[in-house]
């Protein structure tokens, strides 16, 4: 289907002597013509990223390209490095399938040339409609295969991995890692439709930006997952670049505000596709820990290999973690009206493996003042900080309180 579209594009570009770019209705670049004049920066970026920049799309939308039945001239925008251009909608009946774009910086494209492009639109529509139908069928088949790979029984996983390998997905010898994207939602609320659409767009974008045969994406009811091929290196080094591309896509779709960008959990790489479900399980748990954000001292991207004690706590079912009974001494501390300073002191002391010198330095506190606080903690919590078991129990309770939201950042 793409070859048919490419043939139409090349033929029309030759007749007009102008470069053409064809995108679908979601502003994803389908194909374009080669031309000595590469056009403006927006066209170059769209070709490079396989998607028109969001700000350029917003600018073009102001001139009614989505509702247009005929050609539209879109003025240039110097701040966006976007030159004047002509947009010809591609429609199949009432359905908008995409657009043809012609950069026309000096506005020399004649009415006759625009008419020729418009007359060619029905041919493009048929080819683009067939491309869309084929793409949707392929996407449904792939999504079903990925579901079996991540959620099926052992036999189903092996069969799904074989199918994907036969289709040329994931080169032999490369490892596979899962990256889970979790939207920021309140409690158990499901993501809004707009959020789900944003997830689909972001995962589709990152899949296209990576090598076409080295990424698989799936959107579930409350999260998305993308499987990426990695080199056989330590987890962070192997997937950090892919995670960075994913975060970049999420910022593009959801905006730069930190509170709007979904969270990412990264599982450790596995040797084969059939083992990808293990990396997926880790990425899900890491994303759950990342949801605690500042409270757990973790950023927007949580690497399973770096979660330390949170790896243990993340394996508790969410409902059990939420209702877990904490150490009784910590419960008494948390019940105190002005307990924040004491709890912070206790956690810092335990994080520093009981080193008074290190704790005092981290808190910028005089040692004598630290001793006073520790004595007060022991008294209020009815505990003995020289007892290894007590220290372990309190430390785990503090981290669990981070996970279940009892202890704010």
CA angle 143, 276, 237 (to 5 degrees): 115
Residue 406: count of CB within 10 angstroms of its CB: 17
Mean pLDDT lowest among 138-142, 207-211, 348-352, 359-363: 207-211
Instruction: Retrieve residue 272's tokens.
Output: 């084969």
- Given a cut of 70, whether residue 189 has pLDDT beyond it is no
User: Higher-confidence residue: 354 or 324?
Assistant: 354
Per-residue CA distances from 221 to 146, 195, 196, 243 (Å)? 15, 11, 8, 21
pTM, rounded to two decimals: 0.65
pLDDT, position 165: 85
Q: Could you give the CA distance from residue 190 to residue 175 in angstroms, rounded to a whole number? A: 32
- Given a cut of 60, whether residue 295 has pLDDT beyond it is no
Average pLDDT value for residue range 207-221: 79
Bridge partners of 228, per DSSP, are 177, 215
Q: Which residues of 286-296 are buried (b: 16+ CB within 10 A; e: fewer)?
A: bbbbbbbbebb
Q: Could you give the CA distance from residue 372 to residue 181 in angstroms, rounded to a whole number? A: 45
pLDDT, position 22: 93
pLDDT confidence tier of residue 116, bands split at 50, 70 and 90: very high
**Helices assigned H by DSSP within 153-234:** 154-166, 193-209
- Given a cut of 60, whether residue 407 has pLDDT beyond it is yes
pLDDT confidence tier of residue 236, bands split at 50, 70 and 90: low
DSSP 238: H
pLDDT, position 68: 92
**H or E segment and range at residue 401:** helix 388-403
User: Higher-confidence residue: 64 or 405?
Assistant: 64
pLDDT, position 405: 66
pLDDT, position 408: 63
User: Higher-confidence residue: 203 or 123?
Assistant: 123
pLDDT, position 221: 81
Q: What is the CA radius of gyration of the chain?
A: 27
Bridge partners of 400, per DSSP, are none
- Given a cut of 60, whether residue 325 has pLDDT beyond it is no
Mean pLDDT lowest among 131-140, 221-230, 322-331: 322-331
Percentage of the chain beyond pLDDT 70 is 88
pLDDT, position 258: 66
- Given a cut of 80, whether residue 74 has pLDDT beyond it is yes
pLDDT, position 115: 95
147-183 pLDDT, tens digit per residue, is: 999 999 999 999 999 998 888 888 777 889 999 998 8
Average pLDDT value for residue range 5-25: 90
- Given a cut of 90, whether residue 358 has pLDDT beyond it is yes
Angle between helices 2-16 and 111-151 (to 10 degrees): 160
pLDDT, position 90: 95
Average pLDDT value for residue range 243-267: 82
pLDDT, position 149: 92
Helix, strand, coil abundance in the chain, percent, nearest 5: 55, 15, 30
pLDDT confidence tier of residue 72, bands split at 50, 70 and 90: very high
In the chain the domains, ranked by start, together with CATH numbers, are: 2-133 (3.30.450.40), 152-315 (3.30.70.270), 321-403 (1.10.10.2840)
Contact 39, 18 (CB under 8 A): no
Closest CA to 24 of 143, 135, 139, 141: 135
């Amino acid at each position: 289907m793409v070859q048919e579209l490419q043939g139409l594009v090349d033929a029309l570009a030759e007749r007009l002597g102008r470069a053409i770019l064809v995108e679908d209705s979601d502003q994803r670049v389908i194909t374009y013509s080669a031309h000595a004049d590469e056009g403006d920066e927006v066209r170059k970026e769209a070709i490079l990223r396989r998607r028109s920049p969001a700000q350029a799309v917003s600018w073009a939308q102001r001139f009614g390209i989505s509702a247009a039945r005929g050609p539209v001239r879109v003025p240039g925008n110097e701040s966006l490095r976007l030159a004047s251009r002509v947009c010809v909608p591609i429609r199949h009946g009432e359905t908008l399938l995409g657009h043809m774009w012609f950069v026309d910086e000096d506005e020399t494209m004649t009415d006759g040339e625009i008419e020729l492009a418009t007359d060619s639109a029905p041919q493009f529509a048929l080819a683009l409609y067939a491309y869309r139908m084929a793409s949707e069928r392929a996407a449904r088949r792939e999504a079903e295969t990925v579901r079996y790979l991540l959620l099926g029984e052992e036999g189903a996983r092996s069969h799904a991995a074989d199918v994907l390998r036969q289709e040329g997905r994931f080169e032999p010898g490369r490892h596979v890692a899962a990256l889970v994207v979790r939207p920021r939602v309140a409690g158990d609320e499901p993501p809004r439709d707009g959020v789900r659409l944003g997830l689909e767009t972001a995962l589709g974008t990152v899949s296209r930006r990576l090598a076409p045969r080295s990424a698989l994406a799936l959107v579930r009811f409350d999260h998305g997952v993308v499987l990426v091929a990695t080199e056989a290196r330590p987890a962070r080094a192997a997937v950090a670049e892919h995670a960075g591309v994913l975060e970049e896509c999420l910022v593009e779709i959801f905006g730069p505000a930190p509170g709007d960008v979904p969270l990412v959990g990264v599982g450790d790489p596995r040797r084969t596709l059939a083992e990808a479900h293990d990396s997926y399980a880790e990425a899900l748990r890491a994303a759950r820990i990342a949801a605690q954000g500042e409270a757990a001292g973790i950023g927007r991207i949580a690497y399973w290999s770096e979660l330390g004690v949170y790896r243990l706590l993340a394996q508790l079912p969410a409902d059990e973690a939420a209702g877990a009974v904490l150490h009784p001494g910590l419960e008494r501390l948390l019940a105190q009206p002005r307990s924040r300073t004491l709890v912070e002191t206790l956690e810092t002391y335990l994080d520093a493996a009981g080193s008074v010198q290190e704790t005092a330095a981290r808190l910028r506190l005089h040692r004598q003042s630290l001793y006073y606080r520790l004595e007060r903690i022991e008294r209020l919590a009815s505990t003995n900080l020289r007892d290894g078991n007590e220290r372990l129990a309190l430390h785990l309770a503090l981290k669990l309180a981070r996970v279940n939201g009892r202890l704010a950042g």
